[in-house]
Amino acid sequence: MDLLNTLVEKGLRRETPTREEALAVLATSDDELLDVVAAAGKVRRAWFGRRVKLNYLVNLKSGLCPEDCSYCSQRLGSTSGILKYTWLKPEQAAAAAGAGVAGGAKRVCLVASGRGPTDRDVERVSQTIAAIKEEHQDVEICACLGLLSDGQAERLKDAGANAYNHNLNTSEATYGDITTTHTYADRVSTVRQAQAAGMSACSGLIAGMGESDEDLVDVVFSLRELDPDSVPVNFLIPIEGTPLAGDWNLTPQRCLRILAMVRFVCPDVEVRLAGGREIHLRTLQPLALNLANSIFLGDYLTTEGQAGKDDLAMIADAGFEVEGTDTTTLPAHRADAAAAGCGGHGGEGGGCGPCGDAAPADAVPGEAVPARAAAGATVAAPAGTRESHADLVAVRRRGAGTDLPPNA
């Protein structure tokens, strides 16, 4: 049986592909791309139908970070002309969140720059969560505050945070090439702390930082082992004033192959199409909805995204529908585990990770999907620097931290 049919069947059984199969997806040709999207789309629809979950970012504190992450415009030494401001007041953050909810967002992601929160910062965020929940009691809250100290995850959970985001970003082997002020192990530890506290874990990657196919597969398999409930797939936004400003290593076709590989490795997880989709996928964004079941609405932390109304039109035109607050995002086996206090299924040693449950009975493989790729195909590292689209990168000048209305 060919590669793609094998991957579809494994995805419907929640069975992990081999590394060779994952690498083979990344090695497929452009002529095979629609076959790859169609195959991964079967897995996506089996677990999530045609629903698209909308998420909305609120940057609580922008810039002034002591960490040296090479991809980040808020990093130590950055000369990017981004907005810089200290903590938003709870009512300011709630107003920003309200714009996203009004635009259809089901989850609000509260993000603050820095190595990690102080206990006073956790109290600030707790007050912000309360202010948002008072206005929008059904909205999900995800906190993203950096590395956590003992007890902080529990305090955030008690304050009403449903989830915690901390991305692995890249493979363990290459992590030191992009950041020196903390370690890959620090990031893994924070994800596990969030899970242990009973929060849903959100952890993903950034593609386009010069990594090889092997690095991409390594980080996605590491995520599979951690077993977060949501996996954001970011594509590097090369922002002027950062060390990676000149790194344009992605094409729309490569982005789609990366998303397909993530879906095959993490079949029943909320795969989120995150930062950089507009500048790297460009007119192929609608195809990516066949792979990811979640996107960010509107702007990002320091850069502008596609207009919110255009996001909604894209979803409708592609034949998908916005997921409502009355619908549970995760498949029943994940949602039930989270409700039982499994906290995203993770923990030391992978916790109660994927256990091989099959997809719903009505979600069976369709007809054979043609493909010419074969497992074990030769995998080449990405080609050199691609065409620059720096003209598509716009620093955010509206929304949180400004007097202008947000994009939602």
Q: Which CATH superfamily is domain 3-347 in?
A: Aldolase class I (3.20.20.70)
Q: Are 371 and 2 in contact (CB under 8 A)?
A: yes
Is 342 within any annotated ligand binding site? no
Strand partners, 107: 55, 140
Going by C-beta distance under 8 Å and a sequence separation of 6 or more, which residues neighbour residue 86? 61, 64
Where exactly are the structural domains of the chain? 3-347
The owner of tokens 């990676």 is 244
**Is the pLDDT confidence value at 374 over 70?**
no
What tens digit of pLDDT does each residue of 234-272 get?
Answer: 999 999 999 999 999 999 999 999 999 999 999 999 999
Phi, psi of 104 (to 5 degrees): 115, 0
Phi-psi region of 80 (alpha: psi -120 to 50; beta: other; left: phi over 0): beta
- 255 is a catalytic site residue: no
- The four Cα atoms 72, 73, 75, 78 give a dihedral, to 10 degrees, of 130
- 142 is a catalytic site residue: yes
Report DSSP letters for 175-189, one per residue. Answer: HHHH-SSS-HHHHHH
Note the pTM of the prediction, 2 decimals: 0.90
Exactly one of 202, 255, 266, 342 is catalytic; which is it?
A: 202
Helix 184-196, helix 152-159: angle, nearest 10:
50
Exactly one of 44, 107, 124, 142 is catalytic; which is it?
A: 142
What tens digit of pLDDT does each residue of 38-90 get?
Answer: 999 999 999 999 999 999 999 999 988 999 999 999 898 889 889 999 999 99
Exactly one of 14, 72, 144, 255 is catalytic; which is it?
A: 72
- 266 is a catalytic site residue: no
**Is the pLDDT confidence value at 372 over 50?**
no
- 352 is a catalytic site residue: no
Exactly one of 14, 44, 69, 124 is catalytic; which is it?
A: 69
What tens digit of pLDDT does each residue of 28-43 get?
Answer: 999 999 999 999 999 9
Strand partners, 108: 56, 141
Is 144 within any annotated ligand binding site? no
Is 69 within any annotated ligand binding site? yes
- 342 is a catalytic site residue: no
Q: What is the CA radius of gyration of the chain?
A: 20
Is 109 within any annotated ligand binding site? yes
What tens digit of pLDDT does each residue of 324-368 get?
Answer: 999 999 999 988 776 665 444 443 333 333 344 555 554 444 444
> In the chain, how long is the greatest CA-to-CA distance?
58
